[in-house]
Structures are given as C-alpha cells and as structure tokens.
Amino acid sequence: MKTKIIVIVGPTAVGKTALSLDLAERFSGEIISGDSQQVYRNLDIGTAKATKEEQARAPHHLLDVRDVTEGYSAYDFVAEARRAIKEIVGRGKLPIIAGGTGLYLQSLLEGYHLGGKVSHEAILAYRKELECLSDEVLFEKIAELGVEIPQINRRRAMRQLEIAHFGQELKNQEPAYEVLLIGLNDERARLYERINQRVDDMMEQGLLEEAKWLYDTYPDVQAVKGIGYKEFFPYFKGEITLEESIECLKQNTRRFAKRQLTWFRNRMQIPFYQISEPDYKDRIHHQVERFLKEKGLEHLD
C-alpha cells in the first residue's frame, strides 16, 4: 500500500504555511518545506520561512539544511524529502508538504528522479524550448523516438523528450505515494495586495539587513538568484533608490506568483481553493478526512 501524503501548493503569499500548520495540528502531521530557498541557513525573512513560533507548533523538515555557499537541486530535494517522509510515517504521523517550487514537487510526486549532474536551470531552459512547440511538433518528436505513450498529451510528451534529451541523468520511477493535492489561490488583485503587504512586512522585520549581509559576504552564491535579495543589490551599489528596490521586489514577486500558477495549472492536475471564500478551510478539512479514512488511516483524524 502506498504511503499517503498531503501536498499544499500555490503562489507565494497565498497562505500555504498557515494551512500546513492548521492541518498538521488537526491531523497529527509534520511539515516538509517544498521551497528551494528555505533550505538555506540565515535566509529567513526573504524566503518567508516559517518563524520560530510557527515551527514550534509542528515539526518542520528541509529548513536550514544548507549553508548559503552550497548548491541545492531537485535531485537533493527528492532524496531528502523521501527520507523525511519515511521518518515521519515511521513515527505514525502524516507527511504534509507545503511549497511553491513546482519542479521539485513534480519530481517527487511523479517519481521523476533528476540526476545530480543536471541543474535546475538546464531543466527549465529545455522545458521552455519544448513549451514553444505545438502539439503536432511535440508528437512528431515522440514518433521519431519510436516511443509509444498511452493517452499522449503535452505533459507526457514533454516529459519523455526530457528523458531522451538528458539521457541517463533522468530516471523515471514508479511514484511511491498516494497524494492529496491541495491548491490555494485568490483573485489576482487580492493576491497582489497580499504580496505587496508581505514585502512591506518583510522590510519591517529586517529584510534589508538580511540582504546586505548576503551582498557583503556571499554576493555570487546560488541563493542570491532567488527573488527577495538580488533586488537590493543595485541599491547597495548606489545605482537606484531603496524605494525603487522595494518596488522592483514587489513587481518580481507578483510575476513569480503568476509563473507559479501557470506551472501548477499546466503540469500538475490540482484542485484549487479560493482563500477569499469563507468556507474554504472547512471544505479542505472534509477532503482530508475522506482521504485519510480510505484504507485504514482513521486514527489520524
């Protein structure tokens, strides 16, 4: 019998952390971060990492597991998330993954194991090339490979082409989990308001000091590439004003949220709940209860 896990996805600032804590407390769960930036120590504010108070409410995993000088890939995430899931289940708890890094989550859930030599950037670059192709061209490329794909669609075709392109660095494995996917979203205007407010709150919490530390000590590490820090580097260089940096961060974060939603909608079949609807949490609770009661997990509710 496959291990049951819950996965919460959605754009940044939509409330994934809050829901994960709610479900962990209600259904005896432990939380695994599905965010590529929250793995880094000392990068707390800009990555919207769960606070110490929030982490005290439920055990958290894959937070603060790398120094900022170290790299981190989808391969690392899959290996470490699998290990965390096994440990959580061994304690009789429910694994709850919450995050917005689509490539990492898809890799874990679909048994899509990325070889350590293939970078996140390489995968994304090739996928962008494939996304520009029509269905007809994609399917022609599959035919040229001599591969038969039952009920072929764009997602399956692109996945097979990626495997062929990267050779043995990509290995398809049978998914090991029975997954309940929960997507959170909101009306665009309200989501953008939440993003703007989050940036303002981060500034009050000390984001500028965190970014300055990164700029002064490790300006060229992988962690800098993430949204939340690089937007302040031109300000530190005297090229733009602080207000311009803050507005740039808000704009980049809004664009990032849009890309996240596009990824999840196109690549992962996810039911989305609108957080502006007053009963969305009740409906999620009922769905989780039904999911856990199947095949003998009633003890978790």
For 207-252, the pLDDT digits (tens) are: 999 999 999 999 999 888 889 999 999 999 999 999 999 999 999 9
CA distance 170 to 117: 10
The answer to whether the annotation marks 183 as part of a ligand binding site is no
User: What pTM does this model have?
Assistant: 0.81
pLDDT in tens, 168-195: 555 555 667 999 999 999 999 999 999 9
Domain ranges of the chain: 116-172, 189-256
How confident is the model over 28-57, as a mean pLDDT? 97
CB count, 10 Å around CB of 298? 10
**Cβ neighbours for 5, distance < 8 A, ≥ 6 positions apart:** 85, 94, 95, 96, 97, 177, 178, 179, 180
What does the angle CA 141 – CA 142 – CA 143 come to, to the nearest 5 degrees? 90
The response to whether 10 counts as a known ligand-binding position is yes
pLDDT the model gives residue 107 = 84
pLDDT at position 8 is: 98
Distance CA 104, CA 32 (A): 12
Q: How confident is the model at residue 13 (pLDDT cuts 50, 70, 90)?
A: very high
b/e sequence 203-235, b meaning 16+ C-beta within 10 Å: eeeebbebbbebbeebeeebbbebbbbbbbbeb
CA distances from 55 to 34, 91, 95, 256 (A): 15, 18, 15, 25
Rounded Cα distance, 209 and 153, in Å: 47
Does the annotation place 14 within a ligand binding site? yes
Q: Quote the pLDDT of residue 300.
A: 46
Model confidence at 299, pLDDT cuts 50, 70, 90, reads: very low
Residue 116 among known ligand-binding residues: no
**How does residue 131 score in pLDDT terms, banded at 50, 70 and 90?**
confident
CATH architecture of 189-256: Orthogonal Bundle (1.10)
Whether 138 has a pLDDT exceeding 50, the answer reads yes
17 labeled binding residue: yes
Q: Is-contact 84 3, C-beta < 8 A?
A: no
- Residue 261 is predicted with a pLDDT of 93
Quote the mean pLDDT of the chain: 89
pLDDT on residue 209? 98
Q: How confident is the model at residue 148 (pLDDT cuts 50, 70, 90)?
A: low
CA distance 228 to 220: 15
Alpha-carbon distance values, 137 to 140, 141, 152, 157, 178 (Å): 5, 6, 13, 10, 33
Place 291 in a pLDDT band, splitting at 50, 70 and 90.
very high
